[in-house]
Amino acid sequence: MSATKLLEIIDLQTQFQTEEGTVKAPIDLLRLPEKEMRPLRDKDLAMIFQDPMSSLNPVFTCGSQVLEAIQLHQRLDRTRARQLVLDLFARVQLPDPERIYAAYPHQISGGQKQRVMIAMAMSCQPQVLIADEPTTALDVTVQKAILDLMSDLKREMEAAIVFITHDLGVIADIADRVVVMYQGRIVEQGPVRDIFLRPQHAYTKSLLACRPPVDQALRRLPVVRDFIDWREVDGQRTMVERAVSVKQTLAQHQLTEAEVEARRTRIQSGEPLLRVVDLRTWFPKGRAWWGRPQEFVKAVDGVSFEVYPGETMGLVGESGCGKTTLGRSILRLNRTRSGEVWYRGKNLLSLNATELKDLRKEVQIIFQDPYSSLNPRMTIGKAIEEPLLVHGILGKAVERRERVLELLATVDLRPEHYQRYPHEFSGGQRQRICIARALALNPKFIICDESVSALAVSVQAQVLNLLLELREKYQLTYIFISHDLSVVKFMSDRMIVMNGGKIEEMGWPEDIYQKPQQAYTRRLIEAIPRGLIRDDGF
């Protein structure tokens, strides 16, 4: 991850090949002055960034941005350069290159934007292509398509690719060699097969283990701490590796079928806590000139399901399938068009403002982005305290403080964090803060909307474990929304696959995973990067 700055600082002190196959004298890029560095950028060393949504300039057309890169490094007249851009767009399999050329970034999808970025990076046949988490912000299906494309290009262009990611599953699909970094240092490197089959370092093992497996049910996910221990030795924190294998650890956490069965019968015996009947949320698209909506985007279109107390209902689908809107509609954060949402015998959609406020105590939501869902000018103590104030619970400031400290402890944060501001925390810690805030009112029902999607795999495992612990401790009921099928499968008792605002499939996670009924579900499952580990069964 520290390699993000690679192109600015470039600590690649390597020699690289020219097109003819001769070897250039090694250049120490670190000592290269900025002026001489510039011509190398994009021409010899190109970069693809993590977030295609923000990596393209919104005010220029996609075509002109690639054109700019070409004209900067190659002496080509405008028509020929333009033709080259169109060829590149065709090569990265963009549909209708002419249209994309003239389109602004906001007019095309995330996957298409990333293809434009790749086209830009390839435009001058670079020697080295640095891809910084290029698929992390994308759906699994789109991710698969992009990875396939990059593998093809790698062969075709004979460029070296440095692929930076937190997800070992992706690495398995694309890399030849792997370098594992931990706390700023390289802890292990070698051919991808060796890394997956015979991981040496404890951190590598933990990375391999902490991705939710799709083929087994676990009580909790292994985390880094299962493999690495930090001890105080002579006043210094030292890393102690535990001698356990990935397989052992996974086996240790496995749920037996009997346990799974018991849990299911227990949950299904109760009355449903939440019953959604034929819910529709449509957003106006086109409007007539007098302002009345003419067309609609049917974000949620006739969805019905039930959630039992203590159950976790998984909700999975690609972006734009309506899963987030569904979650928000249940909480009345969106205006719904029709349908009913019954919670404990009350239809939430017909509650008045006071009743709704009472309801908000019981039903909470944890949002996707822990960076933007916390007010940067509020200490986290105040942020967690706020819901208590709003609902007038615990009149005395001392009591409230006490409660906040208790909540901090619940999510494994320390009391001294009370006075700190959000920017002082890592992504995983911020998501814990959001969880603590959601828990402040003792809710019974929590909607987790992509709550771990912005986190690295190892951190994601910790947060998922925390959510499971809290579920048992406080008898919580979850709706767990994610685009990541493996995460949803790990978390859920039952799951729903959504597509185009409708329910594609609903059922037990392993049934859906092993016997998908719909082509759409099959496509989602096939796109999950799974690496080599399970196949070889080490």
Q: Is 47 in the site for other proteins (CB under 8 A)?
A: yes
3-state percent breakdown (helix, strand, coil) of the chain, nearest 5: 45, 20, 35
| Candidates 42-50, 220-228, 257-265, 478-486; binding stretch for other proteins (CB under 8 A) | 42-50
Q: Is 372 in the site for other proteins (CB under 8 A)?
A: no
Q: Is 438 in the site for other proteins (CB under 8 A)?
A: no
Q: Is 146 in the site for other proteins (CB under 8 A)?
A: no
Q: Is 120 in the site for other proteins (CB under 8 A)?
A: yes
Q: Is 42 in the site for other proteins (CB under 8 A)?
A: yes
The answer to whether the CB of 456 falls within 8 A of the CB of 431 is no
Q: Is 41 in the site for other proteins (CB under 8 A)?
A: yes
Under 8 Å CB-to-CB from 511, ≥6 apart: which residues? none
One-letter identity of residue 339? G
Alpha-carbon distances, residue 415 vs 30, 401, 409, 432, 459 (angstroms): 42, 10, 7, 14, 21
Q: Residues 52-91: x/- map of binding to other proteins (CB under 8 A)?
A: --xxxxxxx-------xx--xx------------------
Least distance to other proteins from the beta carbon of 71, Å?
10
Q: Is 51 in the site for other proteins (CB under 8 A)?
A: yes
The answer to whether the CB of 328 falls within 8 A of the CB of 334 is yes
Least distance to other proteins from the beta carbon of 29, Å?
13
# residues near other proteins by CB under 8 A: 29
Under 8 Å CB-to-CB from 529, ≥6 apart: which residues? 140, 143, 144, 147, 167, 169, 170, 172, 173
Least distance to other proteins from the beta carbon of 182, Å?
25
Any idea what the Cα angle at residue 28 is, between residues 23 and 29, rounded to 5°?
A: 105
The answer to whether the CB of 191 falls within 8 A of the CB of 167 is no
Of 5 and 225, CB closest to other proteins: 5
Residues 483-512, interacting with other proteins (CB under 8 A)? none
| Candidates 101-109, 216-224, 317-325, 439-447; binding stretch for other proteins (CB under 8 A) | 101-109
Q: Is 386 in the site for other proteins (CB under 8 A)?
A: no
Of 100 and 120, CB closest to other proteins: 120
* Distance in angstroms (rounded) separating the CA atoms of residues 109 and 162: 25
Least distance to other proteins from the beta carbon of 120, Å?
7
Least distance to other proteins from the beta carbon of 310, Å?
42
Closest CA to 161 of 176, 149, 142: 176
Say whether 66 sits in a helix, a strand or coil. helix
The answer to whether the CB of 272 falls within 8 A of the CB of 284 is no
Which residues sit at the interface with other proteins, rule CB under 8 A? 7-8, 38-43, 46-47, 49, 51, 54-60, 68-69, 72-73, 104, 106-107, 117, 120, 289
